[in-house]
Structure 1
Amino acid sequence: MSDNATTVIDPTPLTNADRCDRCGAAAKVRATLNGGGTLLFCRHHFNDHEARLAEMGAVLSE
């Protein structure tokens, strides 16, 4: 993950029920945005959006 993003261990880990907001695959990363809101990404879509999430200062958890 990028050095600009903050990665934390979330007290509520992702489960098999958590799905990617883009495609519905199993979620592997939760991105919490500074302005509020949370996005879930599969590994593929996280890789596509990682740079922008880092620019935005999203807090990431796996």
Structure 2
Amino acid sequence: MNVQKPPATLPPWVKAEVADACAPGRSCTHPLLRITEVRHYFPTSEIRFERLGGLVKSVIAVKRK
């Protein structure tokens, strides 16, 4: 089984969760960041929300000029 390694740019606690989630014999899942965590990791970015039917589908950090 080919186990994917988490990207080097993720914080250490996320890497540990991804490595655990991708352990052999388990399906590979990635933890989702909360909106407050997105704001923390991208403090100078504009946070946009993609909505579908009034519900937030995606959170996007856009670099400000």
Scaled to the shorter chain, the TM-score interval is under 0.3
What TM-score do the two structures reach when normalised by structure 2? 0.24
Q: Which has the higher contact order (CA 8 A, sep 6+)?
A: 1
What TM-score do the two structures reach when normalised by structure 1? 0.25
Q: Which has the higher helix share?
A: 2
